[in-house]
Structure 1
Amino acid sequence: MGAMTNSAVVLAGTAAYAAAVEEASQAAAAYYATGESTLDDDAYDRLVRGIAAYEQEHPQEVLEASPTGKVAGGAASGDVPHTVPMLSLDNVFSAEQFATWTASLERRIGRPVAAWSVEPKLDGLAVAARYRAGRLEQLITRGDGTAGEDVSHAIGTVVGLPEQLVEPVTIEMRGEILMTTEQFEQANTVRTEHGGAPFANPRNGAAGTLRAKDRAYTVEMTFFAYGALPLPDSGELTDTLAELPHSEVLEYVAGLGVHTAADTDVAPRTVTTVEGVQARVEEVAALRASLPFGIDGIVIKADLAADQREAGSGTRAPRWAIAYKLPAVEKVTRLLGVEWNVGRTGIIAPRAVLEPVEIDGSTVSYATLHNPADITRRDLRLGDRVMVYKAGDIIPRIEAPVAHLRTGDEQPIVFPEACPQCGSEIDTSEQRWRCVRGRDCRLVASISYAAGRDQLDIEGLGATRVVQLVDAGLVADFADLFTLGREQLLGLERMGETSTDNLLAAIETARTQPLSRVFCALGVRGTGRSMSRRIARYFADMDRIRAADAEELQRVDGIGKEKAAGVVAELVELAPLIEKLVAAGVNMTEPGATPPPEPGEQGAEEAAAADGEGTAGLPLDGMTVVVTGAMTGVLEKLSRNQMNELIERAGGKSSSSVSKRTTLLVAGEKAGSKRTKAEDLGVRIAAPDEFAELIAGFLPSEV
């Protein structure tokens, strides 16, 4: 067809242009009908930009089927007229393009734009929800912008779109229906249980579900309002909505009980400068990977009604709003193979080998596959075209095969019959398969993990040294580290007196680490650093942890029924290792923690409420603390894990995200979006030195 540039497909001539128009039309038709396009969003955008560039140079050759200048690429339609056209948005892809667009808008209205509303561009389907006297009567898709499809049968399955408003007003809500990550996973589970092919991605899931009428099952979706307008019989509300700034319209909508993005990390924000818009765009882009729903950009709108009126609208898009598109995080590529890797606890994890594809600025050749059951549930096959998702630093994952692109040449994925690491039998009794040798299968990895900085922190014990110790028969688990003798170590290659003494000193220090780190070193599946701290602080010593049943473990924040049962089972399996650690004199208590009451005394839950789980009187008692940015002063050398330990020893609860429940943000250098959000929420902010003074009595002696 033509060469690719970073921004568009370059079309070489009339034939290439005609072929591009046909491909784009077919892709748009599939996309707006069921969400199942042969092109991912990025490829479609580049193709349409290439078509537009060709048409600008050859206006006499423009084909009627061209997607340019049309809502939904001209592919969608419907038979329910919209009261006001439901337009698409034009796109920009850089700060420079956005600056050019704003300058053009301000020239059009003859003055600077007074305020901008900056909000997430949600990756779903645009719909209009019509309420009469406060009751939801009709749900309509965007269609071709002038008329849409009636999907009122979906009423009652969409979270955030109440069937009755708080006030009996007649109004039309406009917004996006999508599937959150959790809803998407649940939808695919239900769909495959009923014999259906899994949805390729959340947008595909929402599109197919919204239009489905006769399924034997229902799945949930979520609505986010991005605007509202009066219906012909709205009365006084007509004049009110016409004069309200866009930001106040959203507040009014939320007050009626309709869901908006206001309670998310990417809540709409009003700013007064182009620089402020760009700063918010960067904040939202940085948060994208952590959101529980998909966004593919940021929508920027002139906030004042007067600015919007004077700017007006074109046939396809309003002139007062623009979509600032973010780099694609989702692409279609081919599944070439599956590798089976064994983790440090013996878990056998599949990894997808992909035909390399560029996503979000990096080349992706591998993606995670959760477990064999997941492969079976998704009906993945070698040779499949698959939808791959990647955002920020998140490991790429396969969302689903694009089933309608199958050729019949795809082959089943072969599961291993023996452990790929050691050849032993595989325990297939749970969804995640495991070598029957467990941690012994990957002994070096298990010991190296236990000795790591955030666990026992044994300096000088890298993987190479661990291999030496294992090969020499000196250690069979990490408890054996505490019984190593000086002469044994001196007998190893490249171990002189200085390195031996340093290693023994580091091991001796590790013997005194708090219980939370010792528990973390055990590598109990389903627990990590923060969960290990919570368990250690709740029970205070190892004997109480080991004596706890699943019901008691569920009293620890963040442990549910399934995880509690898993922890109990693993502690039984780890009993010999724990006994060896106790015999070696390793610390089994958590400094400053108060054990829960014994059975027969005050109930555990009441006791926790009465004394704050042993934190009463401590400087951070009852506080939820978030740390962000680079620490300075006495805190400079502490890792983030050490900071979280410090918070919890001082009676607080550490958290990674700022919310209404956050009590204190410790903001170091380059604090970024978390500081901005804390300021918006009125959360107390402390500099590192101020925080260090607050918890001075709990600082490690080395600082």
Structure 2
Amino acid sequence: MTTTSAVPAVLSDAAAYAQAVEEAKTASAAYYEGGTSRLDDDAYDRLVRSITAYESDHPDQVLSDSPSGKVAGGAVEGDVPHTVPMLSLDNVFSDEEFTVWAASVERRIGREVARWNVQPKLDGLAIAARYEDGRLTRLVTRGDGSAGEDVSHAIGTIEGLPAELSEPATIEVRGEVLMTTAQFEYANQARTEHGGEPFANPRNAAAGTLRAKDRAYTVQMTFFGYGLLPLPGTDEALAAELAEEAHGALMDRAAGYGVNTPASTAVAGIVVPSVEQVLVRVKEIAALRAELPFGIDGIVVKADLAADQQAAGSGTRAPRWAVAFKLPAVEKITKLVGVEWNVGRTGIIAPRAVLEPVEIDGSTVTYATLHNPADITRRDLRLGDHVMVYKAGDIIPRIEAPVAHLRTGEEQEIAFPTECPQCGSGIDTSEQRWRCERGRNCYLVASISYAAGRDQLDIEGLGHTRVVQLVEAGIVASLPDLFDRVTREQLLGLERMGETSTDKLLAALEAAKRQPLSRVLCALGVRGTGRSMSRRIARYFATMDLIRAADAEAMQRVEGIGAEKAPVIVAELADLAEQIDRLAAAGLSMTEPGATPPAPAGEADGDTDAPADGDAGPLAGLKVVVTGAMTGPLEKLSRNQMNELIERAGGKSSGSVSKNTGLVVAGEGAGSKLAKAESLGVRLATPDEFAEMVADLLD
């Protein structure tokens, strides 16, 4: 698995090399001293690799202030000596590089490594926490590896680092301080409310916050331990145990003391016996990256046994028994060059960032979500800003924040629209998400075309061009008009509509009335829902009457609907009452086949948060992912129809593979999802095998 998205640049001569050294020193100092840098993590890694490659070819030209071979790139110093050097890690970027590195370790110790310990590389700042008789007395940064900076003022602001251990041990706990996604959002909110500039990303926020003193507000951070070692005054017996314990045992001991470790997360460290299994675990952790509530930028692989570590030894910058397997960058710095304002089918006016193209995680990103105008204001974004863009897994790229220290003064404020960009009507700004005052009618053609689509009512012959004709002729002004106002004579009066095409369209409209409730609900375009959510709502309530009767509390019982989304859906259904009544009167289905209504509150035994039919079916309880082209009995099914089939069979459809996936249906041309499923040991099925599993539900 090659993980780098770009190779390091080749430095052509001594002048280019010297310039690269200076740039790396400046970037490293800015990051370690204040949590800012003009380079993102991937760019810094590639710069240092370029420097190292040049020095390898020109050993006589190595500059004394080169960052290679130095902890923190040699950019920082400290005044609190470490009792044991606090080193950095060397990096590898592919399976091949790791395999070569592992072989070098085994050559150095003269035998195979007995056990490898594999754990996430947390994206934060390394610190040493010193405990005396079980009480936290001092926090020290890594510094230059031999001495660090005293940041004990941060005691009490770091979750996972207890003020007192469960035992009165005198000991040093080493680990990483970071910000979770939620902590980062709060940190930037508090920072901007107090007149500060937002941090570009959680890593920089942790570095800057850890050093901050005398702030008018407090921001919490999170600690994950990765090492234990004795201090002067440590009990001799305990010191001897620490020297002999394997890394995994040390982490168990740390957790027993009450210190937070990765064992409490979805990417807990594990011990494996071979290089091949290390690479499997690397892929597993990488697959979970996008789902984690904190950042990781790689996987740390260590010789687990103390004897192997001692035999391998350490260099001046890094231990020879541990390495960081770096993952592709999911964030990069680029420039915000514009903002587009798009109107959706429900009238929502959504801003979209236009970026200077940048490659992130194997794809070129030119747009990113901005959510809403309030989000732009909160992040203090301006045209011309350098911005940190984040992308992980299948998530739409988003802007974390402007890199404020790179501003030149030429940036411009982003202009918000004063009228609807689509139709020129007024804008309802009463909520965070602005909306055209005409709502759905603003984008009537798009709304009707969406409702007629294959995954909604599947009205054959009602494409975009035909919808435009119907709207411009005044025949259709809302979705129900298709079913209770359109006449054969009206259709025959349209250009290029003969008797045959008219009769086919009328037949298609009649067939649409037999679509299940989930399709009708989806066709209505309720804000806060889509195809999957419409299916979940319909499966849960079973009838349109029960859906419309649900209040926000009841709506939250549907999986994936939280406290913010529920009242929006309830309000939307109320606004659509007239259209729903007309659709029902026109004969469209208002029930979901196979679904059982939830029992009234207080009448059911056990959990009433799921419909009774949720436990039935051949796929009961399984999270199912479909990838590749379907063949055989499934060949004509759209992906939405496959998802409907999965849910009617009691399963849950999903678009991504993880360790919680129960089944992957892999058709022709299945790619990365199949590979991930194989690496995680997920059960696989061909289209024909899956068709047999759900044969009773196929038409």
* TM-score normalised over the length of structure 1: 0.88
In the alignment, does 2:624 pair up with 1:627? yes
- Which residue number corresponds to residue 55 of structure 1? 55
Deviation at 1:66, TM superposition (A): 1.2
- Which residue number corresponds to residue 299 of structure 1? 300
Assess, with a 3 A threshold, how the Cα gap between structure 1 residues 459 and 154 changes in structure 2: closer, same or farther: farther
Report the count of equivalent residues: 685
Assess, with a 3 A threshold, how the Cα gap between structure 1 residues 528 and 6 changes in structure 2: closer, same or farther: closer
Deviation at 1:313, TM superposition (A): 0.6
SS of aligned partner of 1:224? strand
Unaligned runs of 5+ in 1: 599-603
How many Å separate the matches in 1 of 2:602 and 2:313? 60
- Which residue number corresponds to residue 514 of structure 2? 512
- Which residue number corresponds to residue 22 of structure 2? 22
Deviation at 1:112, TM superposition (A): 2.4
How many Å separate the matches in 1 of 2:445 and 2:241? 69
In the alignment, does 2:470 pair up with 1:473? no
Q: 2:618–2:694: 8 Å Cα contact kept in structure 1?
A: no
Q: 1:608–1:614: 8 Å Cα contact kept in structure 2?
A: no
Deviation at 1:290, TM superposition (A): 3.4
Q: 1:118–1:301: 8 Å Cα contact kept in structure 2?
A: yes
Summarize the alignment of residues 31-430 of structure 1 with structure 2, pairs less than 5 Å apart: 31-232=31-232, 233-430=234-431
Letter of the 1:576 counterpart: E
Match of 1:525 among 518, 524, 527: 527
SS of aligned partner of 2:662? strand
Assess, with a 3 A threshold, how the Cα gap between structure 1 residues 18 and 463 changes in structure 2: closer, same or farther: same
Q: 1:192-243: per-residue Cα shift (whole Å, max 9, x none)?
A: 2222211111111111111222112222222222333333404433333333
Assess, with a 3 A threshold, how the Cα gap between structure 1 residues 505 and 124 changes in structure 2: closer, same or farther: farther
Q: 2:626–2:655: 8 Å Cα contact kept in structure 1?
A: no
How many Å separate the matches in 1 of 2:172 and 2:693? 52
How many Å separate the matches in 1 of 2:64 and 2:103? 32
Assess, with a 3 A threshold, how the Cα gap between structure 1 residues 169 and 536 changes in structure 2: closer, same or farther: farther
In the alignment, does 2:536 pair up with 1:539? no
How many Å separate the matches in 2 of 1:514 and 1:166? 58
How many Å separate the matches in 2 of 1:186 and 1:581? 45
Letter of the 1:351 counterpart: R
How many Å separate the matches in 2 of 1:496 and 1:236? 94
Summarize the alignment of residues 478-489 of structure 1 with structure 2, pairs less than 5 Å apart: 478-483=479-484, 484-486=486-488, 488-489=490-491
Assess, with a 3 A threshold, how the Cα gap between structure 1 residues 220 and 501 changes in structure 2: closer, same or farther: farther
- Which residue number corresponds to residue 579 of structure 1? 581
Assess, with a 3 A threshold, how the Cα gap between structure 1 residues 315 and 445 changes in structure 2: closer, same or farther: same
Letter of the 2:522 counterpart: C
SS of aligned partner of 1:337? strand
- Which residue number corresponds to residue 665 of structure 1? 662
Q: 1:658–1:678: 8 Å Cα contact kept in structure 2?
A: no
- Which residue number corresponds to residue 601 of structure 1? none
How many Å separate the matches in 1 of 2:26 and 2:328? 23
Deviation at 1:400, TM superposition (A): 1.0
How many Å separate the matches in 2 of 1:676 and 1:200? 34
SS of aligned partner of 1:173? strand
Backbone CA RMSD of aligned residues: 3.2
How many Å separate the matches in 2 of 1:452 and 1:132? 68
How many Å separate the matches in 2 of 1:629 and 1:238? 53
Letter of the 1:456 counterpart: L
Q: 1:358-410: per-residue Cα shift (whole Å, max 9, x none)?
A: 32233322222111111111111112121122234332221111111112121
Letter of the 1:423 counterpart: G
Deviation at 1:141, TM superposition (A): 1.6
Letter of the 2:74 counterpart: G
Q: 1:629–1:672: 8 Å Cα contact kept in structure 2?
A: no
Moved more, 445-454 or 204-213: 445-454
How many Å separate the matches in 2 of 1:146 and 1:585? 78
Q: 1:171–1:234: 8 Å Cα contact kept in structure 2?
A: no
How many Å separate the matches in 1 of 2:391 and 2:449? 29
Deviation at 1:189, TM superposition (A): 1.7
SS of aligned partner of 2:173? strand
Q: 1:12-34: per-residue Cα shift (whole Å, max 9, x none)?
A: 33333222222211111001112
Q: 1:39-86: per-residue Cα shift (whole Å, max 9, x none)?
A: 122222222222222323333332222111100001122222222211
Deviation at 1:339, TM superposition (A): 1.4
Q: 2:595–2:613: 8 Å Cα contact kept in structure 1?
A: no
Letter of the 1:668 counterpart: V
How many Å separate the matches in 2 of 1:71 and 1:340? 46
Deviation at 1:675, TM superposition (A): 6.7
Deviation at 1:658, TM superposition (A): 8.1
* TM-score normalised over the length of structure 2: 0.89
Q: 1:248-290: per-residue Cα shift (whole Å, max 9, x none)?
A: 3333433443322234443333333333333333343343333
Assess, with a 3 A threshold, how the Cα gap between structure 1 residues 105 and 380 changes in structure 2: closer, same or farther: same
How many Å separate the matches in 2 of 1:264 and 1:131? 24
Q: 1:353–1:366: 8 Å Cα contact kept in structure 2?
A: yes
SS of aligned partner of 1:609? coil
Moved more, 67-76 or 380-389: 380-389
Deviation at 1:613, TM superposition (A): 4.2
Deviation at 1:341, TM superposition (A): 1.1
Q: 1:124-173: per-residue Cα shift (whole Å, max 9, x none)?
A: 11122233444433322211111222223323322333334444444332
Assess, with a 3 A threshold, how the Cα gap between structure 1 residues 25 and 265 changes in structure 2: closer, same or farther: same
Moved more, 314-323 or 625-634: 625-634
Moved more, 245-254 or 311-320: 245-254
Q: 1:558-599: per-residue Cα shift (whole Å, max 9, x none)?
A: 43333222222212221222122112111112234343456x
- Which residue number corresponds to residue 560 of structure 1? 562
Assess, with a 3 A threshold, how the Cα gap between structure 1 residues 589 and 384 changes in structure 2: closer, same or farther: same
- Which residue number corresponds to residue 459 of structure 2? 458
SS of aligned partner of 1:478? coil
How many Å separate the matches in 2 of 1:14 and 1:673? 44
Letter of the 2:589 counterpart: N
Moved more, 684-693 or 40-49: 684-693
SS of aligned partner of 1:394? coil
Q: 2:93–2:325: 8 Å Cα contact kept in structure 1?
A: yes
Assess, with a 3 A threshold, how the Cα gap between structure 1 residues 143 and 638 changes in structure 2: closer, same or farther: farther
How many Å separate the matches in 1 of 2:509 and 2:603? 40
SS of aligned partner of 1:259? coil
Deviation at 1:426, TM superposition (A): 0.7
SS of aligned partner of 1:395? coil
Letter of the 1:205 counterpart: A
Deviation at 1:314, TM superposition (A): 0.3
Assess, with a 3 A threshold, how the Cα gap between structure 1 residues 52 and 554 changes in structure 2: closer, same or farther: closer
Letter of the 2:663 counterpart: V
Moved more, 135-144 or 236-245: 236-245
How many Å separate the matches in 2 of 1:145 and 1:214? 27
How many Å separate the matches in 1 of 2:411 and 2:690? 59
Assess, with a 3 A threshold, how the Cα gap between structure 1 residues 296 and 545 changes in structure 2: closer, same or farther: same
Assess, with a 3 A threshold, how the Cα gap between structure 1 residues 381 and 7 changes in structure 2: closer, same or farther: same
Q: 1:338–1:351: 8 Å Cα contact kept in structure 2?
A: yes
Q: 1:629–1:671: 8 Å Cα contact kept in structure 2?
A: no
Assess, with a 3 A threshold, how the Cα gap between structure 1 residues 617 and 55 changes in structure 2: closer, same or farther: closer
Q: 1:555–1:605: 8 Å Cα contact kept in structure 2?
A: no
